[in-house]
Structure 1
Amino acid sequence: MEGEMKNFIKVWLSVTISLCYCYAIGKMASKGIKRLICLIPVVCIFLYLPLCLTSVHIGGTTAFFIAWLANFKLLLFAFGLGPLSSHPPISLPLFVIVSCLPIKIQNNNNHNSKPNPSQNNNPSPGAREGPLNYAIKGLLVAILVQLQLAYEYSDYVLFVHPKLILLVYSIHMYFLLELILAASAAVARATLGLELEPQFKEPYLSTSLQDFWGKRWNLMVTGILRPTVYKPTLHIFTRVTGRKWASLPAVFATFLVSGFMHQLMFFYLGRGAGLKPTWGVTWFFVLHGVCLAVELALKKAVTGRFRLPRIISGLLTVAFVMVTGCWLFFPQFTHCKLDERAFEEYAALGAFFRNVWSSFVRACKAK
């Protein structure tokens, strides 16, 4: 862990220096191909830096923030788009923070304008849900961790179906992400006065794949893929197929890129265990891209003449996501041994804090 923390500091120091360079390039190079050429070396560096880390939590989070989030924002910045190209220009510290973190910039320039109720009453997801909601989710996470520990160390492992364990992992991941993001949003709001971008919006209430992927699940990724992949592809195919059907190849292209990026994240995670990718994650997103394109085509064909009851479409959507997830997506967690490595990291972190506490107690007694 000590070596990993040193590498972590070196990686983020390199990220900060690189983003300072990008900020300077934004001042000197006009938007377009010229600025893109100047930023390409940084994009390559950000793809390399996660290889310096091997842990699940530190390495995985860093890989997402710099290899995916920061790189896609820098590609938008090259053409004068995205949050890094706001007007008036943002400061250097804010540029660094917004580049690699899911930060949402609040526009408070129009002091003389009338208040907008839709803006003032639309807090972040963390602010909307009360402490009781998160207390319940925290309790569920604790129960799920105990179930996973019981599965790992129990003598009755053979009586538990592996798919059920994958289901427990998926629910655990969802609730844990919500709690981490809520805590991060509270810290960012209290210390920096900034809001985190929304991440989830009750995905278990989805009524279609379009509703699930576009409005409820992983909205942070949706928000970065829409301007970088979906809109350019939509613009290109609008000239070829017309506006009505251009959204279908645009949706598929978005899911294809998402599949490759998710596979890259699992490559970074699996590298710590010396494993090669199986490409199951990519096929998961290719499958959902095809199915969502078919769903959109059917909606355009029937044009509102037929619609399933909400409860039936909701159950079918959630069931389809869970079945395909347990088939293609969630097995990657066990393939990369993320569960075993995560518990090892928890144990190492606990041992570290116990050693720190023991050293503190000994120092107090010596005095």
Structure 2
Amino acid sequence: MSRPEGMHEQEFNNLIKVHLSVLFSLSYSFFIGSRIPKGKLRFLSLSPVFFVFILLPLKLSSVFPTGLIALFITWLSTLKLVLFSFDLGPLSSHQSKSLQNFLLISCLPIKTSQSPKKTPKLPLNSPLKSLLFVLLLPTLNQKQNLHPILLLAIYCCLLYLLVDVVSGICNSFTKAVFGMELEMPSDEPYLSTSLQDFWGRRWNLTVTSLLRDAVYTPLRSICGPLLGRTVGVVAAFVVSGLMHELIFYYVTREAPTWEVTWFFVLHGVSVVVESRVKKLLGRPKWGVCSVVYGPMMVAFVIVTAHWWFFPPVVRNGADEKAAKEIMSLLEWMMGKAGLTSLHG
């Protein structure tokens, strides 16, 4: 089997081993679910899989594959399996009753659709997003020549496009091969009317849904509707921050700085405060305020990301390494397809 140019043979072999480990672990989880009833016993039976998933990213050294495995498997798959232990979440739906569907829903950032698709307000379809991503990616090699504000805008665009392009590829593959109707990963987050709207209904919806099921809903049930809402929201953001911290460790192999955790803690507290203000103002007044407030909150996300989200992966050049790896992968794919090189 050939490998992309720039990827060492050992790294390529390790990547194959990681994928085989994921396949074996998820197959084991599927058969465990059919033989052990939901609850603590099923959770304990799956605990070896959780341990394996924590170790898998450490088997790799390339930035981009490590980040994908950490996000897809160490975080999302583990969270899905924890919910599955108690017969909750996407792996407990009727669409996960076959092994192939269980594997797909477990390891890919996809979410089955329960409602008709929305028509986007801006004409940004998947091919256009992919093109924009490919055009913007090489600019990271010249970032020292870019104005800081322009560079920040590029980082934000690349992050948004990366999430949507990768998830869109997973969606397209799953729909084409297995006919599943899936939700889009994001819903035009740049049009958010508030922080609550951004984090709860527009940005990275697969992650949002899992955090709601695994963290927010149980805590709200335990603590009661009033206190539980506040505790659940803040806890979901704290969990997200800690998982991002872990992913950044896998990618950089440097001790955590806790910047990204504080980024999510700040936004969790801000969402709680914002929801209280909404109640005090009432819907009519808030509707008028949101016209100005929405863009301000998108700017707030961008500025705080500049302070605490991006620095941990920018300081050691992980962003540039990832960009080179993605460009190398695209070159390899185009070569296999007999297309012209990205460099002409």
User: TM-score, normalization: structure 2?
Assistant: 0.86
- Residue-pair matches, total: 330
Contact 1:103 1:194 survives alignment (8 Å) = no
Partner in structure 2 of residue 287 of structure 1: 266
Q: For 2:302, which of 310, 313, 322 is the aligned residue?
A: 322
Partner in structure 2 of residue 145 of structure 1: 137
Partner in structure 2 of residue 99 of structure 1: 106
Partner in structure 2 of residue 301 of structure 1: 280
Q: Residues 168-192 of structure 1: CA distance to partner in whole angstroms, max 9, x if unpaired?
A: 1121221233233333322221122
Partner in structure 2 of residue 111 of structure 1: none
Partner in structure 1 of residue 292 of structure 2: 312
Deviation at 1:209, TM superposition (A): 0.6
Q: For 1:260, which of 227, 232, 242 is the aligned residue?
A: 242
User: Take 1:191 and 1:265, find their aligned partners in 2: how far apart are those partners?
Assistant: 30
Amino acid at match of 1:167: A
Equivalent residue of 2:137, what SS? Answer: helix
User: Take 1:161 and 1:258, find their aligned partners in 2: how far apart are those partners?
Assistant: 30
Q: Does 1:332 pair with 2:324?
A: no
Q: Residues 119-166 of structure 1: CA distance to partner in whole angstroms, max 9, x if unpaired?
A: 4xx14x7x96998744543453344234333335xxxx3xx4435423
Contact 1:200 1:218 survives alignment (8 Å) = yes
Partner in structure 1 of residue 159 of structure 2: 173
Partner in structure 1 of residue 4 of structure 2: none
Structure 2: state its 5+ residue gaps: 1-6, 339-344
Q: For 1:14, which of 7, 21, 28 is the aligned residue?
A: 21
Contact 1:166 1:331 survives alignment (8 Å) = no
User: Take 1:169 and 1:80, find their aligned partners in 2: how far apart are those partners?
Assistant: 38
Partner in structure 1 of residue 177 of structure 2: 191
Equivalent residue of 1:262, what SS? Answer: helix
Amino acid at match of 1:265: I
Change in 2 beyond 3 A, CA 1:285/1:89: closer
Which of 1 and 2 has greater Rg? 1
Change in 2 beyond 3 A, CA 1:355/1:314: closer
Q: Residues 299-347 of structure 1: CA distance to partner in whole angstroms, max 9, x if unpaired?
A: 2334447424332111211111111111111222302422221244246
Contact 1:102 1:197 survives alignment (8 Å) = no
Report the RMSD for the aligned CA atoms in angstroms.
Answer: 2.8
Contact 2:252 2:316 survives alignment (8 Å) = yes
Deviation at 1:290, TM superposition (A): 0.8
Q: Does 1:246 pair with 2:232?
A: no
Partner in structure 1 of residue 47 of structure 2: 40
Q: Does 1:342 pair with 2:317?
A: no
- Pick which of 251-260 and 196-205 moved more: 196-205
Amino acid at match of 1:34: L
Matches of residues 224-243 of structure 1 in structure 2 within 5 Å? 224-238=210-224, 243=225
Equivalent residue of 2:222, what SS? Answer: helix
- Pick which of 343-352 and 52-61 moved more: 343-352
Partner in structure 1 of residue 84 of structure 2: 77
Q: Does 1:278 pair with 2:285?
A: no
Change in 2 beyond 3 A, CA 1:336/1:129: farther
Equivalent residue of 1:18, what SS? Answer: helix
Contact 2:168 2:184 survives alignment (8 Å) = no
User: Take 1:135 and 1:353, find their aligned partners in 2: how far apart are those partners?
Assistant: 16
User: Take 2:337 and 2:210, find their aligned partners in 1: how far apart are those partners?
Assistant: 42
User: TM-score, normalization: structure 1?
Assistant: 0.81
User: Take 1:88 and 1:217, find their aligned partners in 2: how far apart are those partners?
Assistant: 24
Change in 2 beyond 3 A, CA 1:140/1:95: closer
Change in 2 beyond 3 A, CA 1:62/1:255: same
- Pick which of 198-207 and 133-142 moved more: 133-142
